Amino acid sequence: MLNTVTYDGPGEVPLLIAHGLFGSARNWGMIAKRLSATRPVVTVDMRNHGESDWYDSHSYPDMAADLAEVITQPTDVIGHSMGGKAAMVLALQRPELVNRLIVADIAPVSYTHSQMAPIAAMRGVDLDSVENRSDAKAQLGDLEPGVADFLLQSLDMKNKRWRLNLDVLAAEMDKIIGFPEVSGQFEGRTLFLSGGNSDYVQRDARPRIKQLFPAAQFAKIPGAGHWLHAEKPREFEAAVSAFLA
């Protein structure tokens, strides 16, 4: 069972939030707390992340099955990036569990970019020598703006370890940037919410999206990139609330 954080709220339909690669449930704490004003919200640590168990596999069918174990009734689901792919597979394989689906800045396609650079950077940190997060950040080296601070949220300073199963994430990277062969459709309401400055959801992916999610709607948040919920949290919350209302 995945580690979960629950935010109590009114209403009968809960909202489940699945984070992206290298993320965690607590990355979504502020957004989850605000959204819980109108509904119960549950955030999860995906497998091989945060406080959840480590496994040798990091496939999307396995991650979707993990999410299914958390759900006890039909639930609205948000998934960002890796979590968005897992949420899509969940909706396609277990549509009775998903009420409405929000896919944040990802499409049901394979990508060519790898995320091995952050893994190499984290492996390169001499955790025994770091006294604080600033020391670790200096050792992470030259990463894209904001990436180092994001990765450091998964550093357990007390136990001098990463809360990420780096070996398995590296070994399974092809699966993470890919998308499994799936059949069927999810006919429920679905929103593909993208960052206006992001190139993760291209127009040529729309036929595949519509094939799998015939009720799909599309929206963009101007000025946001791939990390749209972190860059434009208020706009993200407004878009989610409007869709769920």
Going residue by residue through the chain, which has 245 residues, state the pLDDT in tens, using 9 for 90 and above. 899 999 999 999 999 999 999 999 999 999 999 999 999 999 999 999 999 999 999 999 999 999 999 999 999 999 999 999 999 999 999 999 999 999 999 999 999 988 999 999 999 999 999 999 999 999 999 888 889 999 999 999 999 999 999 999 999 999 999 999 998 999 999 999 999 999 999 999 999 999 999 999 999 999 999 999 999 999 999 999 999 99
pTM for this predicted structure: 0.96
Write down the catalytic residue from 19, 49, 80, 226. 226
pLDDT of residue 144: 86
Q: What is the CATH number of domain 4-110+170-244?
A: 3.40.50.1820
pLDDT of residue 102: 98
Write down the catalytic residue from 81, 154, 194, 198. 81
Instruction: Please indicate whether residue 226 is annotated as part of the active site.
Output: yes
Name beta bridge partners: 49. Answer: 164
Instruction: Please indicate whether residue 167 is annotated as part of the active site.
Output: yes
Bridge-based pairing of strands 216-221 and 190-195 is parallel
Distance, CA of 22 to chain centre: 9
pLDDT of residue 117: 95
User: Which helix (H) or strand (E) covers residue 221, if one does?
Assistant: strand 216-221
Instruction: Please indicate whether residue 58 is annotated as part of the active site.
Output: no
Give exposure, 175-190, as e/b (b: 16+ Cβ within 10 Å).
Answer: bbbebbebeeebebbb
pLDDT of residue 34: 97
The domains of the chain are located at 4-110+170-244, 116-165
Q: How far is CA 128 from CA 34, 139, 176, in A?
A: 38, 12, 30
pLDDT of residue 145: 84
